[in-house]
Structure 1
Amino acid sequence: MLRYIFFFITVFSGFSSQAQLNLSGKVVDEEFKDLPFVTVKISGIRNKVFYTQTDSLGTYQFKLQPGKYSVIFSAVNFKSLNRFVTITVDTIIKVQLQSDPATLADVQVTAKKGLIEKKIDRTVFNVENSISAMGTDALELLSKVPGVRVFNDQVSLAGKGGVNVMINDKLVPLSADELSDYLKSIPSVNISKIEVVTNPPAKFDAQGNNGLINIVLKKVNTEGFKGSVNAALTKASYFTGSVGGNLNYRKNKVTLYANFNIRKGSIVPLEQSAVFYPAQNWSIVNKDRNFRTVPSGQTGIDFQASKNTLLGLSYNGGLTDFHSEENIRTKVYNQSQGLDSMLNSDANAKIKSHYHSANFYLKQAFDSVGKQLTINGDWFTYRDDKNRFFNNTSYFQNGMEIPHSFAEYLSTSKQNIDLYTLKADVDLPYKSFKLFFGAKLSFIKNQSDLTFYESQNRTYVIDPKQSNLFHYKENTQALYVNFNKTIKKWDFQGGLRGEYTEIEGISVNERNKNDYLRLFPTIYVIYRANDKNTFSLNYGRRINRPPYRKLNPFRWYSNQYAYAEGNPFLQPSYNDNIEFSHTYNIFTTSLSFSKTSNGFNDVNFTDQATNIQASKPVNFITGYHYQLSHAIGFNVIKGWESTSQLDFFYNAAHSGIAQTLGNLNGLGAYFSSLNQLVFNSRKTILGEISLWYQFPTVEGLNQNKSQYNLDVGIKTLLLNKKMQLAVTATDVLKTNQYRFSSMINHIRQEYHNYYDSRQLRITFRYNFGNEKIKQQDRKLGNEEERRRSN
């Protein structure tokens, strides 16, 4: 606190010299996007010349004596601009640079952005200048971003929990498993930057309590043909192989693009748990080898109908062919820890799913300074068909089979999701402020057909008590507005989003209807004290609607005593988030607070009388999260670049159901360090060492033990850097294991899970064609709903 007080005193008193005046401003391009790394040259009194560059927000600042000056703004691929000004008071000059097409084919940008940038509403990890962008995929690359965790292919923020993932400002339309498959199909060398948006502005859907992660793909600039092919071979317990490629072509008014990837292989997750009943202890070991074949592809066309009109049409789709072979062994111990009995269960599951989506896009410009209308129409459909066969056999302590204990079962589920959205946005940039507003309609239908069978005389017979047809409808209408203004050293941004939602769920002839109107305000303030010190403050309110799969009451049995099911009457939760941060040179410190209301999570309900373990999501949590974060990025020595982050947080959770602990709170910490090495002057032999450590902490009503991970890799570039070869090893020490405990109905439960994360990977990639082809920047309209197919 003393540090912040010192800086505020410095800002408001120490820099108020009467001898010098401020010259500051902002530089944007034709679309009113901030332009970093613009050179600003000032010449004037006594022929003195001063230079600076705009920062990540496109802003610059000088301290000058009163007088007449010439100010020149210049940047690669833009026309230079000269302004003459007389300084008698603090002065602001805002300029808009025009692109220079004549230089695009011949000039390459050589300025290098910092690895981490702090913007008014997000933190940016500039991947294209990072060694991590070679030899891996988008999902693994996310794990290298400071503060972002990837465990069991699920993405979260350290200390905060799950977060939604976007590609080029659109939420990915896939379930949890398919999302990971899709991210693994994106080579990380295609990624320009990763944006961590903990408090998204009003133009984004309000869905997602902990914000968004936006993966921005690279774009280049001239006409022609471009493509690439890639392949990878990964060895965990078993091998996984993948191949793919992409093609892009742009000529005159037409841009065509397509890509295809396929991955096939298997891993061996290992899940271990212990349940401590009053009279017995159950020890469960689930060893599962699962196989996946995942082809996916995308194609599209953009057409520049006129100077001010852009039309686009795209399609993407994919399927997953999954099957697993499970072996579940349960040992039951008595109070004196002697073996009482055993339960064995063998299972195999088959899942076939596919998705299709199409997008129509219209961008209509009203003038040359950025006023425009954008319309998106989207259709998305998802289908899956699940079948799980399993049997159970009980044994006495001496290993003899208990008579008549053998039983066989079959669980099936068919799910259909259809989604339609229409979205219209209007951008109105003016000289003194920017205004953005829009509207969105979304219509969702979800139908699940659930059936449970028991084998009798080699024939599967339906159990009507465990079969169900579930229908779900959700319609949402949204209006939103966003306002942005810069006043000298201050940036202000405010927004308001209103969403009216109607839902209806029907399960076993039980109808659940609800409708609600919610408002989601956002506020951002940034103060740039000088070229070294920046302060920011933001606030936002978010909603977290349940993923569709958590609304599906389908029961997925591990054995006759344990199953997981959805809850068709699950309600959304809400988050209020506030954050204050300070950046000094290469150091960034932030203090944040969030409150979760009506939070939901999976609870493993246990029954002492029957020993049944039923996992089900319910609304029961009121949570509070306090976090202090420190980040630093610097060059240790020549050829060694390091980025590190240290988070301290305090979680407190209060339960609204009697079966769990009433309260649970505790401290936690998270440390990560990404180190990139260059071994030769041509920068063609590269290395990387990545480490993170999660200290023991509290998450919801679970107590998590420590967990850490070490990755190493070496990469080389050949054939004028068109070919890339990489060898990487992940989880080298085999320490990325998830261990936690909880207390339900006064019964302690402990879990120890490992998801085959120690892997060795060899990656090959070859680029061909024109390296500077450009794809149009497009955003889909059904961002939130498609993500909730998770």
Structure 2
Amino acid sequence: MFRSLFFLIAFFSALSSQGQFQLSGKVTGQEFKTLPFVTVKISGPQNKIFYTQTDSTGTYQFKLLPGKYSVVFSAINFESMSQIFTLTKDTLIHIRLKGNQHHLADVQVSAKKALIEKKIDRAVFNVENSISAIGNDALELLSKVPGVRVLNDKVSLVGKGLANVMINDKLVPLSADELSNYLKSISSENIARIEVITNPPARYDAQGNNGLINIILKKTTSEGFKGSVNLAATQASYFTASAGGNLNYRKNKITLSSNFNIRKGSIVPFEQSNVFYPEQTWNIINKDRNFRTVPSGQIGMDYQVSKKTLLGLSYNGGLTNFHSEENIKTKIYNQNNGLDSVLNSDANAKIKSHYHSANIYLKQSLDSTGKQLTINGDWFTYRDDKDRFFNNTSYFQNGITIPNSFAEYLSTSKQNIGLYTLKADVDLPYKTFKLSFGTKLGFIKNQSDLAFYKARNEGYEINPQQSNLFSYKENTQALYVNLNKTIKKWDFQAGLRGEYTQIDGISVNDRNKDNYLLLFPTFYVIYHANDKNTFYVNYGRRINRPAYRKLNPFRWYSNPFSYAEGNPFLKPSYNDNIELSYTYNIYTASLSFSKTTNGFNDVNFIDASTNIQAIKPVNFITAYHYQWNNTITFNAVKGWESINQLDVFYTASNSGIAQTLSSLNGFGAYFSTLNQFVFNQSKTILGEANFWYQLPSVDGLNQNKSQYNLDLGIKTLLLHKKIQLAITASDVFKTNRYRYNSLVNNIRQEYNNYYDSRQLRITFRYNFGNEKIKQPDRKPGNEEERKRSN
């Protein structure tokens, strides 16, 4: 491995026949205060011109060939300064700009970034430049990001699996349903960019084997009001309506922000499975219509205590009122494919849940060079109350009811999750390197009260063998350090994170108590061969702690023969990830490898003697994943921008339990094309056409079948672009079906699921107020544990 790395480094170094030197420096104002976003223009030999801007610390840098150059520094409200120099070695030029006596009253400067940007540790999708940002919510927008998939409202990375989602560097602390509801409450118009971080740096929690998706909301600066109202009507199998709005206000040292959204409607997911027992085949069809009413809101305040101190408070809360009407029909066939009997289950579930989240943070500037301390305190609580009533009736093949087969049941669950975290980060930029370090304390408590009843006479009688009190505690202490360094054409970033965790889970007479200390190194290298060719190498180690619901031993029955339950003794899994990437102008290619140890997944354990199907998560997977990714962006004709991606991957999975296949491996491939159109010169009539196709692939010990999806949209901007009107169609051909098969106890299982994803949506949005408001940069600090309420 070391020989290979040495060869790569030597190869990259040989690509440039001439040495380059670094020109760098810092730009300050009259009070020696650092000035960000100062334009730096370099004019050199053969009339070559280079541009850059100073970063948040006022620093800039170029890599240039030896020669004579002129440099010009310019910024709004400052006098421009120029200097001529001859570059023969690494050179520092520090500049102090003078204020311009003739200030401009109001200037707005905008520059269009590339739709996709590749950085040292992430890929960035600049939403502000995407037509997909009009008329969508955050969840729908994620499905338009290259490399990201949304299936049944669950977010994953192509070829890698489920990914954790963050908002402004903070993991969203909600279950799968609550997370999708929350993302649907965020208008894509409020999103600045989406960062896909396949190998997160040490600053982030080590939680999540498959990486992170970070949604960065738009920022603000100017004083005054700004707000919007939005309405949406969606037609799937049934109708759903949503409404909401946001309002921001800034005056002097105070910035206020708020939003509120409500969604009400229903969808009809469809699930079908076939289980091939030795002497029978069970065909199970689950038709479900579920209804949701989901209000949510957020309010925040920032107070600029002094030039160096910013204090912030925020609250975020929401509730879900859910109920469903289900019919589960199981047809049982004999070996001659003749109908033996039918089991019918009618059910309805009621779920009420709510969450509350509060954050307080302090950002303290330590000096004028960008050194700062950030402290975050977070509190989060989540509660739900679930009741599921269901009955079962069995019929002979001729439709006559089997005597004494009717029975009624009730299963209940109450869950209470509390999370408290305290986090501190220190950033220390120096002239030759950048250092950051920090710590985090997390305290989690999860309690569940589970019960199962059978109807007798006019009441319900509890079954003590299927009822349980479950208590789980988890405390984590973490430290990290991260270092960035640039040496000529090379950029380096290295980090180390240590996490010490103590857990204590109690379920009836079972207790799972453990503590462990783990280290998570990360390493990144970039080699800039020239202006067009860039090479990347990175490595990282991750942990995937189970979601709390997977630790809960509660049994959720579909019928007397089928139930799902958690596993209080489920352990974390671990991933080692290596990635090599290459970028040439509009083309990016990457080759990655990951190894998963102690991987866990849900397994449908089937007993042929009793026909009982028990779905339970267990640790049993060791997997190796290889992936080759290709992305190309081009403008074929004026008004048409296209992003195209092709992934080819190979997965080899080995099982540690006897009930499943001992191993399963195979290739898979994924293709997507994201196309944006501008139909008129004023750029007020827009369109999009997006398509993806997933070839058959291996997921753990499941074999997934192919699926594909087409989305279309037309959008218009009215009243000086204050009004946005969009009509979009998702899954036009109703082909986004999740189909797979598996083998457990030598019994084959086939699944065909569709989650009502073909939808027609009409969206209206009206923006009002000061268009230049920009929210202060803040990164509140709840981390990995909150996501695991899923």
Task: Report the TM-score, using the length of structure 2 for normalisation.
Answer: 0.95
Q: Which aligned pairs between 1:39-438 and structure 2 lie closer than 5 A?
A: 39-42=40-43, 49-54=47-52, 61=62, 63-64=64-65, 66-67=67-68, 69-74=69-74, 80=80, 82-89=82-89, 91=91, 106-438=106-438
Separation in structure 1 between the aligned mates of residue 103 and residue 12 of structure 2, nearest angstrom: 41
* Change in CA separation of 1:507 and 1:11 when aligned onto 2, cut-off 3 Å: closer
- Label 1:256 to 1:498 Cα distance change in 2 as closer, same or farther (>3 A): same
- d(CA) in 2 for partners of 1:86, 1:708: 57
Shift in Å at residue 109 of structure 1? Answer: 2.9
Query: 2:442 aligns to what?
Result: 442
CA contact (8 A) 2:220 2:776 kept: no
Other-structure match for 1:542 = 542
Deviations 1:628-681 (A, max 9, x none): 000011111000000011000000110000000000000000011000000000
2:578 aligned residue: 578
3-state SS of 1:264 partner? strand
Structure 2 distance, partners of 1:98, 1:616, is 68
Contact conserved, 1:275 with 1:748, CA < 8 A, in 2?
Answer: yes
Contact 1:56 1:118 survives alignment (8 Å): no
Distance 2:627 2:211 in 1: 15
Q: Name the structure 2 match of 1:763.
A: 763
Distance 2:252 2:345 in 1: 63
Q: 1:117 to 1:55 in 2, by over 3 A?
A: farther
Aligned residue type for 1:406? F
Deviation at 1:288, TM superposition (A): 0.3
Residues 499-510 of structure 1: pairs in structure 2 closer than 5 A: 499-510=499-510
Contact 1:429-1:435 at 8 Å conserved across structures: yes
Amino acid at match of 1:53: Y
Distance 2:54 2:330 in 1: 57
The residue type equivalent to 1:599 in the other structure is G
Cα drift, residue 21 of structure 1? 5.4
When residues 580 and 37 of structure 1 are mapped into structure 2, their CA distance, relative to the original with a 3 A threshold, is farther
C-alpha displacement of 1:6? 13
Q: Residue type matched to 2:144 in 1? A: K
Letter in 2 for 1:480: Y
Amino acid at match of 1:369: T
Is the CA contact (8 Å cut-off) linking 2:123 and 2:197 kept in structure 1? yes
Counting matched residue pairs gives 781
Q: Give the match for residue 480 of structure 1.
A: 480
Structure 1 equivalent of residue 17 of structure 2: 16
User: Is the 1:592–1:626 Cα contact (8 Å) retained in structure 2?
Assistant: yes
Partners of 1:585 and 1:302 in 2: CA distance = 40
Output the amino acid matched with 2:531.
D
- In the alignment, residue 512 of structure 1 is paired with which amino acid? N
Deviations 1:425-476 (A, max 9, x none): 1111111111101111010000000000001112110000000000000000
Distance 2:497 2:555 in 1: 37
CA contact (8 A) 1:685 1:714 kept: yes
Q: For residue 184 of structure 2, what is the amino acid of its counterpart?
A: K
Q: C-alpha deviations, 1:65-111, integer Å up to 9, x for none? A: 534x3212446688755444332235576889999999786333332
Maintained 8 Å contact 1:24/1:92: yes
Q: What letter is aligned with 1:217? A: L
Residue 728 of structure 1 deviates from its aligned partner by 0.2
3-state SS in 1 of match to 2:635: strand
Instruction: Give runs of aligned pairs for residues 487-636 of structure 1, distance below 5 A.
Output: 487-636=487-636
SS of structure 2 residue aligned to 1:201: coil
Q: Could you say if the C-alpha distance between residues 354 and 100 of structure 1 is closer, same or farther in structure 2, counting changes exceeding 3 Å?
A: farther
Residues 1:32 and 1:528: Cα distance change in structure 2 (over 3 Å): farther
Alpha-carbon separation, structure 1, partners of 2:655 and 2:36: 48
Q: Specify whether residues 357 and 241 from structure 1 end up closer, same or farther in structure 2 by C-alpha distance, changes over 3 A only.
A: same
CA gap 1:534/1:99 in 2 versus in 1, 3 angstroms = farther
Q: How far did 1:14 drift?
A: 5.7
- The SS at the match of 1:649 is strand
Q: 1:109 to 1:632 in 2, by over 3 A?
A: farther
C-alpha distance after superposition, 1:213-242 (max 9, x if no partner) = 001111132111111100100000000000
Structure 1 Cα separation of the partners of residues 726 and 101 of structure 2 = 36
- CA–CA distance in 1 between the matches of 2:100 and 2:560? 70
| Structure 1 residues 498 and 401, CA gap change in structure 2 (3 angstroms) | same
1:737 pairs with 2:741: no
CA, structure 1 residues 42+750, in 2 after alignment: closer, same or farther (shift >3 Å)? Answer: same
Does structure 2 conserve the Cα–Cα contact (< 8 Å) formed by 1:454 and 1:463?
yes
Cα gap change, 1:544/1:27 in structure 2, threshold over 3 Å: closer, same or farther?
Answer: farther
* Aligned-partner Cα distance in 2 for 1:693–1:666: 17
Q: Cα offset for 1:11? A: 5.3
Identify if the C-alpha distance between structure 1 residues 75 and 121 changes in structure 2 by more than 3 Å, giving closer, same or farther: farther
Quick one: structure 1 residues 528 and 677, their matched pair in 2 at CA, closer, same or farther if it must change by over 3 Å? same
Partners of 1:254 and 1:236 in 2: CA distance: 43
Whether the 8 Å contact between 1:32 and 1:370 is mirrored in structure 2 is: no
3-state SS of paired residue (1:637): coil
Segment drifting more, 710-719 vs 307-316: 307-316
The question of whether the paired residues in 1 share the 8 Å contact of 2:33 and 2:368 is answered with: no
**Structure 2 vs 1, CA of residues 499 and 10 (structure 1 numbering), >3 Å: closer, same or farther?**
closer
What secondary structure is seen at the aligned counterpart in 2 of 1:661?
coil
User: Structure 1's 465 and 35: CA in aligned 2 closer, same or farther, altered over 3 A?
Assistant: same
Letter in 2 for 1:236: A
Q: 1: CA distance between counterparts of 2:440 and 2:555? A: 35
Whether 1:452 and 2:452 are equivalent positions in the alignment is: yes
User: What letter is aligned with 2:466?
Assistant: Q
Q: What is the deviation of 1:773?
A: 1.3
Distance 1:391 1:313, change over 3 A: same
Assess, with a 3 A threshold, how the Cα gap between structure 1 residues 522 and 555 changes in structure 2: closer, same or farther.
same
How far does the alpha carbon of each residue in 1:593-620 deviate from its partner, in whole angstroms, 9 at most, with x for none? 0000100100000000110101011111
Supply the distance in 1 between the matched residues of 2:97 and 2:726 (Cα, whole angstroms): 40
Give the superposition deviation at 1:28: 9.0
Matches of 2:317 and 2:337 in 1, distance apart?
53
Q: What's the TM-score, normalizing by structure 1?
A: 0.95
Distance in structure 2 (CA, Å) of the matches to 1:276 and 1:547: 31
Partner of residue 656, structure 1 = 656
Distance (whole Å) between structure 2 residues aligned to residue 503 and residue 101 of structure 1: 63
Q: Which one-letter code corresponds to 1:115 in the other structure?
A: L
Question: Do the aligned residues in 2 keep the contact of 1:25 with 1:488 (CA within 8 Å)?
Answer: no
Residues 113 and 147 of structure 1: is their aligned pair in 2 closer, same or farther, counting only changes over 3 Å? same
CA distance 1:302–1:283, shift in 2 (3 Å): same
SS state at 1:54 partner: strand
SS state of the match for residue 595, structure 1? strand
Alignment CA distance shift 1:181-1:700 (3 Å) = same
**Judging changes above 3 Å, is the alpha-carbon distance between structure 1 residues 546 and 96 closer, same or farther for their aligned structure 2 residues?**
farther
Tell me the alpha carbon deviations over residues 369-417 of structure 1, each in whole angstroms, 9 at most, x when there is no partner.
1111111111110000000000000000111000000000000000000
Distance in 2 between residues matched to 1:358 and 1:513, nearest whole Å: 30
- How do 1:697-736 residues align onto structure 2 when only pairs under 5 Å count? 697-736=697-736
SS at structure 1 position matched to 2:636: strand
- Distance in 1 (CA, whole Å) between partners of 2:595 and 2:373 is 36
Q: In structure 2, what is the Cα distance between the partners aligned to 1:95 and 1:652?
A: 56
Alignment CA distance shift 1:449-1:5 (3 Å):
closer
Percentage of pairs with the same residue = 73
